[in-house]
Amino acid sequence: MNDIILLLSRATKCGRFLMPKVNPGGHFHGTWNVSKRLLSSFRELKQLSLPQVQVPEPEPETFKGLETDFPCLAKNPSTGPEPVYSRVISGYNTYTCNEPFYFKHHDGVIPELNIAYETWGELNEDKSNAVLIHAGLSASSHARSHLENPEAGWWEKFVGPGCAVDTSKFFVVCTNTLSGCYGTSGPSSINPLTEKPYATTFPVTTVEDMVHAQFLLLNHLGINKLYASVGSSLGGMCSLMSTVLCPDRVGRMISISSCAQTHPSAIAMRYLQRKCIMTDPYWNKGHYYGRPYPKMGMKLAREIATLSYRSGPEWDDRFGRKQIDPHQHPSLCPTFLIENYLDYQGESFSLKFDPNSLLYISKAMDLYDVAESFPDIHTALRQVKCPVMVIGVKTDILFPICQQRELARLLSEAGNDAVTFYELNSIYGHDTFLLDLNGVGAAVKGFLETELSENGRARKRKDITF
């Protein structure tokens, strides 16, 4: 047998057997004998019984992947019923200015202006005890509950008898911000000339426009000078802008978790939120009223915003790496509690606020620069003559603490001797102004009720480093 194999190997060249060669005369020579021996060897091979090698059948390809049915997407439809904003909040008053209201940019003008507002406490005889609370981006005029609307307000624990803003001492006013959707003129309001919602034909809005609208309301209420202007976040921007634009009409000012100029990181964060809404196929260039609603874009925008409202230390303390169901195999749907929380925040907010209002107000915050109408920021802040309190939070991502330090320093450099600065070490980030009653509430109450001189402290302060 081995001889046969050896013969075959020698007789094979490049997979071919050597065949007899023929010379020009027609005679065979050379390899003929080898070929004869090969044929004889093949006959022998056919008679042999060779051991067979068992070649395994190829196994089927091994693969097991995820199911492509994602219940986390099915439970959040891409569109939904259009919110009825008048039902979100009720019990507010409405001031209607029947004169055209002019905006700062693009020669914008609307034929009339509506301002939703609520009040608490009693205005004294000389109308000197009014405190104006400026709402944040998504807040309404409902800062505190009252008989007309017993639902808890967005600053419920901070406003009321004996509270930080004491309604037994002060007449408190809170408005819904211009471009909002809770009663004040905005994109979802009806244009009286067309009898259709303004949508994105509503003029681009600035913080200056918001302040001008608020002071029209104060004129209507007969309030010539505020005892105090108080605001957080966007409200802090409005509070400072009020004092810069109308210095003779503000007695003292509080700015919480805000700034003099918008930080680029905040602009980037809000840009992504707007992009989520504007790329939603149902946004329809802002003309979605009475049509499918851009719910998914709004939901994603709020989830992004929530990242900037709280802080890493709180996430770690509150959620850590805890899973929704530790016994469930992971999938591409939410696995961790923090994901579930963001999903809940986006879902619950997506039908409570008008997407166009979010676009307009967030853009106003990005455009905000208290010095825009002045040669420089020092000139702008020199307009502020009244006592000022600036509060910042170390864990604030949206308005970094450096911005409040800078604002306090610039006000002092501008010649204001009545600047008080508080730096809070709260884990709640930007939302501290809504949650920290001890830190924020105590500071606000102390500042409002402490006797201060009109243009500074009762005793001039020494140099302070912020």
Which sequence positions are flagged as catalytic?
A: 233, 396, 430
Specify whether the CB–CB gap between 297 and 375 falls below 8 A. Answer: no
d(CA 99, CA 393): 41
Answer left, alpha or beta for residue 14, where phi above 0 means left and psi between -120 and 50 means alpha: left
SS3 of residue 183 by DSSP = coil
Question: Alpha helices, DSSP H only, in 78-159?
Answer: 85-88
Question: Alpha helices, DSSP H only, in 180-258?
Answer: 207-221, 234-245
d(CA 444, CA 253): 10
- 113-120 β-sheet, strand order: 93-97, 113-120, 171-175, 130-134, 228-232, 253-256, 388-393, 419-424
Q: Which residues pair with 389 in a beta bridge?
A: 254, 420
d(CA 448, CA 443): 9
d(CA 450, CA 82): 47
Cα torsion 137, 378, 106, 100: sign: positive
Structure tokens at 261: 């100029």
Question: Alpha helices, DSSP H only, in 136-193?
Answer: none
Give the DSSP per-residue string, 11-32: HEETTEEPPPEE-TTS-EESSH
120, 146, 166, 215 from 360: Cα distances, Å: 29, 29, 32, 20
d(CA 159, CA 170): 10
d(CA 370, CA 133): 19
d(CA 461, CA 458): 9
d(CA 105, CA 367): 11
Please list, in sequence order, all residues whose beta carbon lies within 8 angstroms of the beta carbon of residue 380, skipping any fewer than 6 positions away.
244, 260, 370, 371, 373, 374
49, 55, 58 from 52: Cα distances, Å: 9, 9, 18
